[in-house]
Structure 1
Amino acid sequence: MAILIFIIILWYTGLFFQTFFLHRYAAHQTFTMSKVTERVCFVLTWVFQGSNYLSAYGYGVMHRMHHAYADTENDPHSPKYDPNLFSMMWRTKNIYQDINQKRITVADKFTKNVPQWKRFDNFASSRVSRLTWAAAYVAFFIVFATAWWQWLLLPVAFFMAPIHGVIINWFAHIYGYTNFKVKDTSKNLLPFDFLMMGESYHNNHHTHSGRANFGVKWHEIDFTYCIMVVLDKLKIIKLKKTTI
């Protein structure tokens, strides 16, 4: 039971900071926050993503490129141009690293106002950090695993963020339904998104990319947006009126 609870906590906390901080803040800037709060989010993203920490800069720039070039040869991740999901994610990893390390030239429109804390990113993305988190996960499993099959969940802990990425960037471009006609293959993967906290309303998001609430229909409840409304009321963040 402890292992299952651990995986569930990792799943939803890591996912929350991916969609809240990396996606809706770094990439789309649907809300504002103070510099101190931004730094806190950097640290919490590292804590909850652990061994698969993603930089706000690398993620934000790459995601903007995805919207600009969706399902074209320049898209960092598209099922149309990769034979399988492993090939797509490997290419995504390489592009992300090239962006994050600034090994490629990126147009200003993709980098404008994307938050970056380079010193912290270098630490959080380092091999030492990733291996330390991985060792901590293994230690937790050694102490709390009570059946052999629970060890099958260890790779999920190691690669939680890429798994989140695969679900949306691969499956939500192949399966699901559409509310809007768009030029790409984005679909709403789930009619009630209990699994991805609003991220699976992908067709909605590709239609209204600057909108903080990814849900459109009554049953499309965006749990991340619900949390954002509370944070806005508490004055921790400030939602932009044009994005609500």
Structure 2
Amino acid sequence: MSNINYDDSPYSVREDIVEAHQRAWDRLSKAGNWLTGEERLKVMAEARHARDCPGYAKIREALSPFSITEPFDSGTDLPQNWVNMIHLIVADPGRLTQTWYKKTIDSGILETHFVEIVSIVAHTTAIDTFANGIGVPVRALPEAQSGEPSYYRPAEARQHQAWSPNIAWDEYGPNEADYFVGPESNIRRALTLVPDEARGFFDVVAAQYLSGPEMRDFTQEFRAITHLQIELLAARVSALNQCTY
């Protein structure tokens, strides 16, 4: 197991952030619902490699990210369609389209695998960006643990307006009752085709941002900056990243 700490940071890091990052690293190193621990670690490594791939700058500078047609430089032995998917998500997520999603699925990546890969890339990006933000190197990746995927797909997940199937807020089953609590939130449905990925990602969100109840509690402040300051920063980052949610 790779232990995460930020002892080399010039800033004090809250213990709940360290603990959330450690939980994420531990979970990502194990088999998920559809990928083995080894495959998950390769996705993490490929997400990091994508930032230094020659195609990264080409994609971001191109009029369309889909105009870059040559295969991406792979840093792992993952299938090329996985590599292409990961590199495009890392380089230019704001300009990906539903047509691209459908072509990715048609290339042989199952919807369940797509969601799990997206989650792993998102976890890795969030934690690496935190390290970059406080001026320390990204943390060493964990070691892959043995074990088989659970192959669990919730019966309640179905196609809605989103690209991939997910669970509607009022349609969850007993296995996901722990997750669907509080006011309805569309964004929390995003990874629910693979529920453990949704749980894990929003565990990191609660530490790096705010938990669901804290977001809506304007009677008190939970961080060193106020709700208003947090949302101002979040809105600016979203605009820069072309996140139109």
Normalising by the residue count of structure 2, what TM-score does the alignment of the two structures yield? 0.28
Answer 1 or 2: which has greater helix percent: 1
Normalising by the residue count of structure 1, what TM-score does the alignment of the two structures yield? 0.29
